[in-house]
Amino acid sequence: MINPVLETIRDRRSSVGFESTQIDEEKVNAILEAGRWAPSWTNSQPWRFIVVRDEGKKEKLSSAVSTVFSLAIKDAPVVIAVCVNPKKDPFHFAEDGTTATQNMALAAQSLKLSTSWIGVFSLHDEKNSTERRLKEILEIPKEWRLMSILPLGVPKFKETKTRKELPEIVDFDSFTAR
């Protein structure tokens, strides 16, 4: 079965390199709307999104991320930081933030853009974690958590990946994989 939503899900990939093409406000706002409309536990909507276009700030963010995706932060014309407030929902804030991130990544794909999902959430909020370094750069209050960074832009090249076949990952009625 093929439909536009399933096709978008199937085609989404994380991009490391982006063209210097600027992203118009209408597309950025559509992507932010997708995040806003993500489901959250009891509709708590515990998120806040930071849109970063400033080259100096992107350079600092890139330096604080120690993965291959640090280059994506530098190259992308727009970077979106996904923050959540655990006080709004102390039990489900992580799922809520990742759902908003996924919605935005899929919205970008549907608009012929790409993202790199850079997960920075530190489970135990360690003092020297990437999350803490990025929160400092973005001036995020201590009580808020930073779930992810989404560099956004026109990809320099199309990534291709394969997936396991359904019989390898699906069981019926009970867990049978050993």
CATH code of the domain containing 119: 3.40.109.10
Q: Is the pLDDT of residue 11 over 90?
A: no
Q: Is the pLDDT of residue 178 over 80?
A: no
Is residue 92 in a domain? yes
Is residue 32 in a domain? yes
Mean pLDDT of the chain: 92
Query: How many angstroms separate the CA atoms of 11 and 156, rounded?
Result: 15
b or e along 28-39 (b: 16 or more beta carbons within 10 Å of the residue's beta carbon)?
Answer: bebbbebbeebe
b or e along 117-143 (b: 16 or more beta carbons within 10 Å of the residue's beta carbon)?
Answer: bbbbbbeeeeeebbbbbbbebbebeee
pLDDT in tens, 71-101: 889 999 999 999 999 999 899 999 999 999 9
Residue with token string 């909507």: 45
Is residue 174 in a domain? no
pLDDT in tens, 132-171: 999 999 999 999 999 999 999 999 887 777 889 998 989 9
pTM: 0.91
Is residue 82 in a domain? yes
Overall domain count for the chain? 1
Is residue 103 in a domain? yes
Is residue 173 in a domain? no
Q: Which domain holds residue 60?
A: 4-158
